[in-house]
Amino acid sequence: MAIKVDPNLNVIKEIQEVGGDTLKKCYQCATCATVCPLSSDEAPFPRKQMILAQWGFKDKLLNDPAVWLCHQCGDCSKYCPRGANPGDVMAALRLLVIKEAVPFKFLHTFYNRPLGLIVLPLIALFFIFLGMIATFQGMPNLFDANSFPYGGPHYDIWIFHLPARVLMIDVVFLPLAAFVVIILFSAINRMWNAYVETYKIPQAYRYGMWTILKTYFIPAISEILSHSRFVKCNANNWRANPHKFLLYSFIILALTTAIVFVMADILGFHTPWNPLTHPVKWLGNIGGILLLYGIIDIMVGRSQAEAEKSLRTSYPDSFLIYLILFLGLTGFGIEIIRSIPGLKNITSLVYLAHLVIVFMLFLGVVYSKFAHLAFRTTAVVFDLYFKDVVQKMSK
C-alpha cells in the first residue's frame, strides 16, 4: 500500500532561516552517517535527521535528543560530497528546538538576527537605568567613577547594609535570574516529557525527578566536564580543549559570583577589592583568563576550520563568541582602567558596558545558542536514562 508524504515546506524554510540553508543539497548518500562517531546501525546519525528535516517532520525533530548529542565536530560536513553541511543543519535544528521551547519568541529572534545588535543592548540599558535611577536616587554622572558605580547612598534593609551599586545589581539581576530559571525549568520539563512519550518509556520505568537526578545527572555532568564526546571528533578535534576551558571558566566565574553575593549582600564586605591581594579576585581573574584563552582559541580554530570547509560560523555563533569575548575584556577593563589615575572616570562607562553584556548573556541562557548548556545536559541525561531502561527491559 502506497503512503503519501507531503513535505512541510514551512518547516524547511524555518530550518533554512536559522542556519540550515544547505539542507536541500543533501541527496541521502549516507556519507555523514558513515563518518559520524555518534552514528550506529540502529540510528544512522545524522542521515535520519536530514531525511526528517527535508520532509519537514518538525515534531519528530523537536523530540529527538540525538540533535543535542551532536557537538558539530564537522566530520559530516567535511566529507559531504554535496556540500550539504549536515553539521550546520544540526546546529540550526538546535536553534529551532530552543525557539519552540520558550515563550516570548521575539527575544529568540533578536539573539539570532542582526537587528538584535541594536535591540538587545537597549533592552539591557532600559532595565539597568531603571535600577540605577531607583537605587542612586536619580541618574548618576556616568563620567565620574565616584558618582557611578562607587557613589550613591547606602541602604539599611533589615540586617543588610547595601551601597547603591550592590542594591542596583540585586534589583536588576535577581529578577532576571528568576525569569531565566523559571523559563528553563518549564522548557526542560516539557522537553523531558516529550522524550519519554516519543520513546514510549513504560510506566514502570518513568522515575521521579530526584531519582533521575541522583542516578543519571552526575554521570552526565562527568561526561560533559570531560568532553568525552568531543574527543571522538576527527575534523575539528581541536575544539575539545578550548570548549573545556570555556566551560571551566564559567563554572569558576559562577562560583566567584556566588561568593561575592554572599560576602557583599549578606556579610557586608563590599567591593571594589584589590585584584592583587584579595583571594576572591584571584579566583575571578583565573576564570577570566581561562575565558579569554578559550574564546580566542575558538576564534582562531574556527577561522582555520572555515578555510578547510569543515566548519561554518553562523550569525548565532558569532554573536555568542563576541559576547563572551567582550565579557572578558570589559571585566578586566574595569580592573585595569580603575587603577590608572588619568582614566579612572572612564571606569563608569566600562562598568556599564560590562553590566549590559552580563545582562545579555544571562538572558541568552534561554534565547541564544548559549541555551545548549541546559538543553544538551538534559539530552545527555535522557540518553543515559534511556540506555539503562533498554538494558533493564532486555533482561
The predicted pLDDT at position 239 comes to 80
The predicted pLDDT at position 224 comes to 86
> Which of 87 and 8 is assigned the larger pLDDT?
87
Distance CA 371, CA 161 (A): 35
Beta strand segments in 158-245, E: 160-163
Question: Residue 4: which pLDDT band, with cuts at 50, 70 and 90?
Answer: low
The burial of 2, by beta-carbon neighbours within 10 Å (0-12 exposed, 13-18 middle, 19 or more buried), is given as exposed
What single-letter amino acid sits at 111?
Y
Cβ neighbours of residue 92 closer than 8 Å, sequence gap 6 or more: 15, 16, 18, 19, 20, 23, 314
Taking each helix axis as running N to C, give the angle between helix 372-394 and helix 218-226, from 0 to 180 degrees, rounded to the nearest 10.
120
The predicted pLDDT at position 80 comes to 86
The predicted pLDDT at position 1 comes to 52
The predicted pLDDT at position 374 comes to 92
Mean pLDDT of 236-257: 89
Question: Residue 264: which pLDDT band, with cuts at 50, 70 and 90?
Answer: confident
Which residue matches cell numbers 535544528?
Answer: 93
Mean pLDDT of 98-120: 93
pLDDT tens track for 276-315: 677 888 899 999 999 999 999 999 988 888 887 777 888 9
Distance CA 31, CA 22 (A): 16
Distance CA 318, CA 315 (A): 5
What single-letter amino acid sits at 360?
M
C-alpha cell at 269: 564586605
Mean pLDDT of 191-206: 92
Among the ranges given (37-46, 48-57, 197-206, 247-256), the one the predictor scored with the smallest mean pLDDT: 37-46
Counting residues of the chain whose pLDDT is more than 90, the rounded percentage is 45
Question: Residue 344: which pLDDT band, with cuts at 50, 70 and 90?
Answer: confident
pTM score, whole prediction: 0.90
The predicted pLDDT at position 314 comes to 86
The closest alpha carbon to 46, from 7, 79, 6, belongs to: 79
> Which of 39 and 218 is assigned the larger pLDDT?
218
Helices and strands: H and E segment counts in the chain: 17, 2
pLDDT tens track for 351-372: 999 999 999 999 999 999 999 9
pLDDT over 70 at 271, yes or no: no
Question: Residue 172: which pLDDT band, with cuts at 50, 70 and 90?
Answer: very high
pLDDT tens track for 47-93: 888 988 888 888 888 899 989 988 777 788 888 888 888 888 898 89
pLDDT over 80 at 236, yes or no: no
Beta strand segments in 70-150, E: none
pLDDT over 90 at 228, yes or no: no
The predicted pLDDT at position 273 comes to 66
pLDDT over 60 at 2, yes or no: no
> Which of 107 and 225 is assigned the larger pLDDT?
107
Mean pLDDT of 195-210: 91
Distance CA 146, CA 136 (A): 12
Query: With contact defined as beta carbons under 8 Å apart, do 93 and 49 qualify?
Result: yes
The burial of 327, by beta-carbon neighbours within 10 Å (0-12 exposed, 13-18 middle, 19 or more buried), is given as buried
Query: With contact defined as beta carbons under 8 Å apart, do 74 and 317 qualify?
Result: no
**Average predicted confidence (pLDDT) for the chain:** 88
Cβ neighbours around 336 below 10 Å, total: 13
